[in-house]
Amino acid sequence: MMRRPPPAVVNRLPLLLARRGMSWGELARRTLLAPRLLARLRAPAANPRLVVAERIAAALDLPVEALWVQRRP
């Protein structure tokens, strides 16, 4: 059985939302993204399309690189 490689990107969005005390509903309101899409972004290996990542980063006034970090080998 083949092992799945670890995700290439680390999702820091849940951690940063918790630190700011912001709910996922508030993020949906600020970004106008569907709650269904945001629900998928709760996963540790979530890797959204660039346009979605930019929209979320803009709503949080952070660079995209602060939310999704490339995993080191």
Which is more confidently placed, 44 or 15?
15
How many of the other CB atoms lie within 10 Å of CB of 13?
A: 24
CATH fold, domain 9-70, is 434 Repressor (Amino-terminal Domain) (1.10.260)
Domain boundaries, the chain: 9-70
Global pTM value: 0.84
pLDDT surpassing 80 at residue 5: no
pLDDT surpassing 80 at residue 68: yes
CA 12, distance to chain mean position in Å, is: 6
